[in-house]
Amino acid sequence: MLSISGFYINILFDEMRLAGNEILKFQDVTFFGNQHFSLADLPEEIRENIFDLGEFRKIKNQQNVVDIGEYCTEIFWVINGAFVCQYFEEELAIERTINFHIDSFHSFMTSVESYFYNTKSKYKLKAVRQSEVIVFKRSAVNELIENNSFINQLCFAGLTSALTSEIKLRSKLTILPADKFYSYLITNYPQIIQQIPSKYIAEFMGITQEWLSKLKRR
pTM of the complete model beyond 0.95: no
Q: Is 203 helix (H, G, I), strand (E, B) or coil?
A: helix
Highest averaged pLDDT of the listed ranges 51-60, 93-102, 122-131: 122-131
Give per-residue pLDDT as tens, 109-138.
Answer: 899 899 989 999 999 999 999 999 989 888
Q: Residues 6-25: pLDDT tens digits?
A: 444 444 444 444 444 554 55
Q: Does residue 156 sit within a domain? A: yes
| 89 within some domain | yes
**If you average pLDDT over each of 29-33, 44-48, 144-148, which comes out highest?**
144-148
Task: State the amino acid at position 89 in one-letter form.
Answer: E
Q: Has residue 190 been placed in a domain? A: no
**Helix or strand (DSSP H, E) at 79:** strand 74-80
Q: What average pLDDT does the segment 174-199 reach?
A: 95
Residue 2 pLDDT > 80? no
In a domain, residue 208? The reply is: no
- Report yes or no on 101 lying in a domain: yes
CA torsion, ordered 19, 21, 22, 25, to nearest 10 deg:
160
Domain holding 163: CATH number? 2.60.120.10
Range of lowest pLDDT (52-66, 72-86, 98-112, 177-191): 98-112
Contact between 117 and 124 under an 8 Å Cβ cutoff? The reply is: no
Q: What is the pLDDT of residue 33?
A: 47
Residue 105 above 90 pLDDT? Answer: no
Each residue's pLDDT tens digit, 188-209: 999 999 999 999 999 999 999 9
**pLDDT (0 to 100) of residue 5:** 41
Alpha helices in 9-91 (DSSP H): 20-27, 44-53
Q: Which amino acid is at 20?
A: G
Longest CA pairwise span in the chain (Å): 54
202 found inside a domain: no
In a domain, 174, yes or no: no
Tell me whether residue 203 is in a domain: no
What range defines the domain where residue 65 resides?
A: 8-167
Say how many domains are in the chain: 1
Check residue 107 and give its pLDDT. Answer: 83
**Rg for the chain (alpha carbons), in Å?**
17
